Structures are given as C-alpha cells and as structure tokens.
Amino acid sequence: QVQLVESGGGLVQAGGSLRLSCAASGRTFSSLAMGWFRQAPGKEREFVAAINRSGGRTSSGDSVKGRFTISRDNAKNTVYLQMNSLKPEDTAVYYCTARPDTTYYTYYTDYSKYDYWGQGTQVTVSS
C-alpha cells in the first residue's frame, strides 16, 4: 500500500503562486510514477502534470503548460507541483497520484493508470 499526503493548498490571488507537496510512504518512492490531477465542482477530473520515476521526464496539461511545473525529490519521498501565474479557473481540489511502475521512462496522463490517490488539497484563486 502507498499512502499519499498532499499539502500546500490554500487561498491565493490571481497572478500569485503556490507550491503543492505530496509525501509518499509505504513503498520505495523511486519505484513510483507520480502525477497530479484536479477537479473543480461540477467539472470532470483533469490531468495537470505527470513525472516518471527518475524525474527526468515530465508532462503537463494544456491548460497549465508554461505555468505549472512538476518535480520530485526521491531522497525526500516527495513530489511537488509549482504553480505560478495562477488564474481563478485553477480553483479546484488537487490530487496527488502514484503508480508502481516497472518501466523507468514512462509517465502517465490517464487517471485510470494510477493505483493510489491522496485525499486532495483545496486550491482557491481569487480574482
């Protein structure tokens, strides 16, 4: 079992920044491909960003490209989501996800590929 605990959410003004963290336990962190998804009220779950096991390969969703950056520190068992130039439409609950992965280079943008989810952290961007 993998436990994921997100932190760093909160209320921020448009144009501001936040950094989300997700601490993982229960499995060797470097064996996990990681991702971030979000869901706003009344909307579908949306892919935000993903990263492979080593951190050398990443992907981000079209709506956040150029503003959000995913990274990981395998020594700290933590994945991060740096969010800059925040917009009111970024308001959502953000979820950290993990997938034990035997490949080394793959990241996953499909939420159904992930086995573990955190409890979510609320991000609210005011206009």
pLDDT in tens, 32-45: 999 999 999 999 99
Q: Residue 112: what are its φ and ψ, rounded to 5°?
A: -70, -15
Count the Cβ atoms, other than its own, within 10 Å of residue 73. 12
Pick the more confident residue, 102 or 57: 57
Angle at 108 between CA 104 and CA 111, to 5 degrees: 145
Q: Which residue has the higher pLDDT, 85 or 103?
A: 85
pLDDT at 26 over 90: yes
Which pLDDT value is given to residue 104? 87
How far is residue 57's CA from residue 32's CA, in Å, rounded to a whole number?
Answer: 13
| The pLDDT of residue 31 | 96
Q: What is the pLDDT of residue 117?
A: 98
96-119 pLDDT per residue, tens: 999 999 888 999 999 999 999 999
